[in-house]
């Protein structure tokens, strides 16, 4: 709880409006027990990193995180995408990996 408190406080201090928009995600909006949690979080992470950091990327984070919230349109769209990719590749969703070869992890700008 203390970690969540400081994470939320830091987000609000960095950018008040966007930090406040992250509040539901600090309080369990994303179900960690979701069967697709790995794919969901990796896709959110890579999309965020592709925004190249800074406040512009931070302000888009609440929208990206909606993908991980069950019953949102963003979640349902991503679930359809995962199912179609698994079918196309003839594998299980749990076997899908995110293509992040375009991300320069060594020189990330936060």
Residue 7 in domain = no
pLDDT in tens, 77-100: 999 999 999 999 999 999 999 999
Instruction: Kindly tell me the burial class for residue 10, based on how many C-beta atoms sit within 10 Å of its own C-beta (0-12, 13-18, 19 or more).
Output: exposed
Residue 58 in domain = yes
pLDDT in tens, 30-79: 999 999 999 999 999 999 999 988 899 999 999 999 999 999 999 999 99
| Confidence class for position 108, pLDDT limits 50, 70, 90 | confident
Residue 87 in domain = yes
pLDDT of residue 89: 97
Residue 9 has φ and ψ, to the nearest 5°, of: -60, -40
Rounded to two decimals, the pTM is 0.84
The two three-digit tokens of residue 51, written as one number: 């925004």
**Cβ 69 vs Cβ 21: under 8 Å:** no
**What is the domain extent for residue 75?**
30-107
Residue 71 in domain = yes
| Confidence class for position 110, pLDDT limits 50, 70, 90 | low
Helix (H) or strand (E) holding 101: none
Residue 26 φ/ψ region, left for φ over 0, alpha for ψ in the -120 to 50 degree band, beta for the rest: alpha
CA dist 31 and 38 (Å) reads 11
How many domains are there within the chain?
1
CA dist 31 and 16 (Å) reads 25
């Amino acid at each position: 709880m203390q970690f969540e408190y400081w994470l939320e406080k830091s987000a609000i201090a960095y950018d008040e409006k966007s930090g406040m928009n992250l509040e539901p995600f600090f309080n369990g909006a994303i179900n960690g027990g979701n069967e697709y949690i790995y794919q969901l979080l990796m896709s959110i992470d890579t999309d965020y990193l592709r925004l190249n950091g800074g406040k512009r990327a931070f302000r888009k984070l609440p929208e990206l995180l909606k993908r991980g919230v069950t019953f949102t349109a963003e979640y349902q769209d991503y679930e359809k995408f995962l199912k179609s990719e698994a079918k196309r590749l003839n594998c299980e969703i749990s076997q899908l990996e995110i293509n992040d070869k375009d991300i320069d992890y060594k020189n990330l700008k936060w």
